[in-house]
Structure 1
Amino acid sequence: MRWSTRLWVCGLLTGAVWAGQPDVLRIGNGPEPETLDPHRAEGVSAGNILRDLYEGLTALAPDGRPIPAAARAWEVSEDGRVYRFRLRGDLRWSNGEALTAEDFAASLRRSVTPATGSAYAQILAPIRNARAIIDGRLAPDALAVRAEDPLTLRIELEAPAPYLPGLFSHPVTFPVHRTHRQASGRFTQPGELISNGAYRLDEWVVNAHVGLVRNPYYHDAANVAIERVRYLVTEDVHSELKRYRAGELDVTYEVPPSAVKSLRRDRAGELRIAPYLGLYFYGLNVTRAPFAQKPEVRRALSMVIDRELIVDKVLYGLGMPAYGWVVPGTAGSVEQRPEWANWPYARRVAEAQRLYRAAGYSDVRPLETEIRYNTHDGHRRVATVVAAMWKQTLGVRTRLVNEEFKVFLHHRRLRRDTQVYRAAWMADFNDPLSFLGILHTAHGKNDTGWRNARYDDLLDQAALLTDTTVRAQKLRQAERIVLDEVPAIPLYFYVSKHLVSPRVQGWTDHLLDYHYSKDLRLVPSIE
């Protein structure tokens, strides 16, 4: 009889039971992941799983610094335009085949190929010819990446990009097995998916959970302590909390703001709240009525939102009011705010009413719009409060539309039905470009449809600059354009918030809220 089994039997005799399965880490993971194709995935829930299934050239340390992962080291040329990533010599796919530098090169070409449909392809824009390939002006083979030998990947850039190593922790850069590169998505199912991370896909029960099992071919498998990981769908944050309290989860996706006070009292050692490079905002579809060519209306809607009230009363203090676009604390950033953000609220309302009337709206002819959001009690609460603010101050009639996550993302991309939609952006790397880039015309996540040539030009210039002072100035100018034209309304900056069971060891708060299961371990916990 194994030691764990003997202890379990003794537990039955003494009335104690396991608080959790001793070799399975159970993680609440929010909505159903839309795909496990790393180049097509978009949501946070998919990203969490993909970082266990795959491994990029780099990973990110808790403070956001890139650290070696599949690459043991990297070098950069004196002019900053050529990187060489040196791969570990013992890399294998989960089927035991050798993984080489050409696998990374071919996968990067797949990511920028328009037919792949990657919403994050623009992340790779610093690589020479990437933009032209994404735009369909060059063939994917023109991407300036190549394997110099099986363990050396050479990447040439359009201009120096000191943040480049951090990009290679993102799923859009992960290697995809050669048999999957032309596949339409079938390879993401259990029994089909071949990956290179610390875990491999074992099961996927739709709308229930995704199960992973330790990958014996992972280069550091001997130090992966947890045998199995189960990511559970937990769209209802209150139900998730009940499951955690019942011992069915080891880590929650988030925490209901209304429960934080009691959790701080009763489970202070399990509640983890930390700074997080994330922005919660409302996107405005500027390609159609009522917001096309109407910056004054968009500005009026933004001005009357009392962000302090939302953070204080709806989020119970779990956030920070957002008036700018780039999260404070992002490397190299200086906080930007519209001038009106410093006005008394009454003055803001008066100016918003003037703009609203100037656009032709009134009590007799009110603006009618909708706020669309994915299923989540927190999103519903925020939308209800914002709609009430618009109604009370301007007379706007707002309909709330709740959708399942995949349907919601689909409608956002199409831009046929959306008007106002809930959105969030979590930094992919610690740089203002990670936030500003999503409103670039060419970015796959620019669901607003906003186009501004001057804005695009400023970002393109900043991407080519080596002078950090001038680069920062260009990025601040770009952010001012966003705040003036209001293609989206920033509401609040995130904090990460999780409950972590005492049996989970090795958990570290992370600036981008990345948590690699391979770095955790489980200890016996009896209740």
Structure 2
Amino acid sequence: MRKVFKKVVATGLALSMLLGMSACGDKNKAGDTASAAGNYKSITTTMSMESGTLDSAGITSYWWWSYTSLATAPLVELAADGSYKNILADSYEVNDDMTVYTFHIKEDANWNNGDAVTAADFLNTITRALDPDCGNGYSTMLLCIKGAEAIYKEGADISTLGVECPDDKTIIFNLTEPTAYFMDLLTLPVFIPTHRELQTETNGPWSMGEDMDALVSCGPFYMAEYVPNQYCVYKKNDSYVLKDEIHLDEVKTMAMEDTQAIISAYKTGELDIATADYTVLEEYDGSDELVKYVATTSNYELFDITKPPFDDVRVREAFSISIDRDAVATACGTNYIGTSFFVGTGVISKASGKTWSEEAGGELLTYDVERAKELLAEAGYPNGEGFPTVTYKYPSTQIESDIAQALQAQWKENLGIEVQLEAQETQVNISDRRAGDFDICRMQWTADFIDPYTYLSMYRTTDSYNDNGTNCSEYDALMEESNKESDPVKRYELLHEAEKILVADYFWAIPVVNRETIVLMNPKLTNRIVDPSRGNIRTKYLDIE
């Protein structure tokens, strides 16, 4: 299984050669590819342009999520019925007070180079992620483990960490207190194993695809070929513990972001799967090529609250309640809905079985232009007069441009304020946001696990994803109390209260829209399983009819 890393390839040639390998302009290429090469099954899909690294303990962003869906494996994953399916875990036990989780790793769990997957591989990721300099936005999700907070925040010795490895195939997590969502955390980057000997350099060359021998996989596929910012080729990993559940031999992922270009590539047979938008709904209405499902994605805007003018809560409220969210959604297309909720409206409550918005019993914000004008005048900017120049930064995709222009127009009309727009490459936008270099910045969050905590935890004072300087002891206390609460009804009440503080009391963030995901899929692709945690199709399980 020779691995190839290509650094310099002419873009046009590389794309045409890769697509030509299986497409040939035929819309039903997946089935044709399989029949043309015996039982060899290959599909082509897309990935976001590169951002971050492939290191589970390092800087994880869009590229990592594309990679992990194919080439890594967790201890367990969430099934559609809410149960947990064992992946690398053979079995597990939880003590009575839910503070000790013991996992037994499958004896036949191996890396694709033949090395055994051991408890030390999980510990390798965890200990590196507890280095505050690692750049991992999920490090704080480890702080439920005994000793982890003191290690991460105070530099305590790693030997005080409450993770035990009594033998190669057993790992024990000792938690500081019951954590209702701990099993859900196990699919996050910081709980994904990395090879204890080959992948120890955080954000090192291996994590950028530059050392393919070190980029070993314990998941369904391994990365066999990679051309930066162009494409990746993944081959089936015959060492994977559940290889019999994997039907594809190869997955090619093209680096593409423009939605219309992706749709066009699907129509010409260059892609088997395409994340589309509302423009395809009429054309594909009634077709089994059209797949729709509710995303757990929230689009919202962040203020830099550390300096004027957005250090004034009156200004933040004026900007928020002067937005007609339904009008913004209309500008985006029929698969978008306006929302005043920070948590994804479609997230199902473990307390009531209702969606998050249904359980809340009403919107958090009211569109009120007159009140917005009053607030702005109270803050010293009547009709927007004297308001400093501010810039809204956003990724340079069509949908984000639509949102940006709709917001700009409403703030101009309703507040008399001309907000400058700055479209950026995705990686630049993320870097600026993480560095706090913005006035207003687009943020999007897709649930990592089905619990409101995955959204709300980011704006605790010390959270590594707190990019806008939110600092509120009241909010922190509610989030901490929710962690300790074992009654799901009472716990969700606390989380609803925390969201209200975030969005409707202090206006640290502006929720704007949620969306329904629209996907076009080759009709010959079967076994379409949706990940209930992240609201996307699990490519690894697909088959060809």
TM-score for both structures, normalised by structure 1? 0.90
Point out the more displaced range, 228-237 or 138-147.
138-147
- Map of 1:29-428 to 2, 5 A cutoff? 29-62=47-80, 65-178=83-196, 179-188=198-207, 189=209, 190-252=212-274, 254-264=275-285, 268-292=287-311, 294-311=312-329, 313-328=330-345, 329-331=347-349, 332=351, 333=356, 334-335=359-360, 340-341=365-366, 345=367, 348-363=368-383, 364-415=385-436, 417-428=437-448
Query: Structure 1: which amino acid aligns with 2:285?
Result: R
Separation in 2, partners of 1:306, 1:146: 52
Confirm whether residue 507 of structure 1 aligns to residue 524 of structure 2. no
Is the CA contact 1:53–1:195 (under 8 Å) kept in the aligned structure 2?
Answer: yes
Separation in 1, partners of 2:132, 2:45: 34
The change in CA–CA distance for 1:118 and 1:369 in structure 2 (over 3 A counts) is: same
The change in CA–CA distance for 1:391 and 1:224 in structure 2 (over 3 A counts) is: same
Separation in 1, partners of 2:339, 2:91: 38
SS of residue matched to 2:414: helix
Separation in 1, partners of 2:292, 2:27: 29
Is the CA contact 2:91–2:103 (under 8 Å) kept in the aligned structure 1?
Answer: yes
Separation in 2, partners of 1:514, 1:66: 17
Deviations 1:391-435 (A, max 9, x none): 0000111111111111111111111x3111111111111111111
Q: Which runs of 5+ in 1 are unaligned?
A: 1-11
Separation in 1, partners of 2:102, 2:342: 33
Separation in 1, partners of 2:26, 2:103: 51
Separation in 1, partners of 2:182, 2:205: 31
Confirm whether residue 522 of structure 1 aligns to residue 522 of structure 2. no
Separation in 2, partners of 1:445, 1:30: 20
The change in CA–CA distance for 1:29 and 1:96 in structure 2 (over 3 A counts) is: same
Deviations 1:330-352 (A, max 9, x none): 324532766642xxx4xx10000
Q: Which runs of 5+ in 2 are unaligned?
A: 1-23, 35-40
- Map of 1:2-13 to 2, 5 A cutoff? none
Query: Structure 2: which amino acid aligns with 1:318?
Result: N
Q: Residue in 2 aligned with 1:7?
A: none
Deviations 1:6-48 (A, max 9, x none): xxxxxx9xx9896244332211223324321122344345313
Query: Structure 1: which amino acid aligns with 2:124?
Result: A
- Map of 1:432-443 to 2, 5 A cutoff? 432-443=452-463
Question: Percent of counterpart pairs with the same letter?
Answer: 25
Is the CA contact 2:44–2:251 (under 8 Å) kept in the aligned structure 1?
Answer: yes
Is the CA contact 2:57–2:202 (under 8 Å) kept in the aligned structure 1?
Answer: no
Q: Residue in 2 aligned with 1:3?
A: none
Separation in 2, partners of 1:118, 1:45: 13
SS of residue matched to 2:382: coil
Separation in 1, partners of 2:396, 2:82: 30
Is the CA contact 2:531–2:538 (under 8 Å) kept in the aligned structure 1?
Answer: no
Query: Structure 2: which amino acid aligns with 1:181?
Result: T
1:19 aligns with one of 29, 49, 52: 29
Q: Residue in 1 aligned with 2:468?
A: 448
Alpha-carbon RMSD: 2.2
Separation in 1, partners of 2:460, 2:143: 12
The change in CA–CA distance for 1:33 and 1:63 in structure 2 (over 3 A counts) is: farther
Is the CA contact 2:199–2:214 (under 8 Å) kept in the aligned structure 1?
Answer: no
Is the CA contact 2:297–2:514 (under 8 Å) kept in the aligned structure 1?
Answer: yes
Is the CA contact 1:258–1:315 (under 8 Å) kept in the aligned structure 2?
Answer: no
Separation in 2, partners of 1:349, 1:117: 40
Query: Structure 1: which amino acid aligns with 2:360?
Result: E
Deviations 1:365-388 (A, max 9, x none): 235311111120000011001000
Q: Residue in 2 aligned with 1:473?
A: 493
